[in-house]
Structure 1
């Protein structure tokens, strides 16, 4: 049975645009905003585990690297709350770049640099296919049952970005691309990493490889900040 609130709340889309989410004005007109995304924003639940973990670990003068910008809500909230924060965010879907720009304009956000590219483990920068679905939220480097088309996007090396931008915190939600990116990768120097895992896409072996890479980099789960498939890792100096 459908929720009696569903028709009423979704019908408010035309009235409530932009919609205010945790103090952030979010433009909701356009085909990229599905019923599920709009309802999550309206009810205060959109990307909540990521947001709560990020705000618990973030410091006002940090450098934040985000992979998978989406609509720009999570990094937008961080940038709005901490004006001294420096943010670099990577979004592969070219259709989302003007959406992110509009969110930044509405909220007068100027401390976020948006890059239309993906980060990879390639030996050299290049081009990758990015697979698009009807919902922006499931676009991925990996084709799946919802894929409708693919686009070519620039691929930058994670190692280069870590060296040049020198982030303190990394936030990652890239729909399964985390397996390729983090397995066996040394990411020492980061104080915290928040990553949404996608077990149905990457499998248990890749999950284990990600945990091993984090541990090898001195990053261990903060259990109280983990929720569902979102895992928060923090740097721990272990005694020898």
Structure 2
């Protein structure tokens, strides 16, 4: 018997097919070129702010007002009973980041978290920053052979990372979307100085679609509504304030 397959019209949803980005640089991220094997920015993205700091936990956030609609971060956290290693720290030290004082009413915190630290991160967000858990997004990690990653873990294999979403009480204009709550994407090679795996670019699309008033314009050019922490240096982006920690070149990669 014949088999009928109905192909949906453009844009084809992510549930049907994985989009592979072209070789051209994305307009959202910093255009890059290679010098002596090192990827460096060609120019500053429009409507962006880029700040270097030796240690993000020690950065003086008092210079910022309460203007941010979203803080997006990927802190390099030690797992329970994991021995110390360069650049990583215990989840309790995140108290040094005044997330609650950076966010406007109704704003969001998006933070990547391994499964062993989910209870600690939720407790920290509620008790220290005054935020409530609202949702999560899951990255299912794949290898380049399309097999799901099976890294070692205590009970099950480690195959995913969770993006926890917290919100401060209040009203904020949002655009509801039909984005999936999970994404299958490849594990990217780490570059010198990277502490964590590079997270999917789709997270930026989720945040910027959810918060349309967070984007810059000619009338509002200051990137004071989106803040990202502990992202790779080449993740400097239009619409974002990026605080980059100096690389830990002896980190395990």
TM-score if structure 1 supplies the norm length? Answer: 0.36
Q: Which has the larger radius of gyration?
A: 2
**Higher RCO (C-alpha under 8 Å, 6+ residues apart):** 2
Bigger fraction of residues in helix:
1
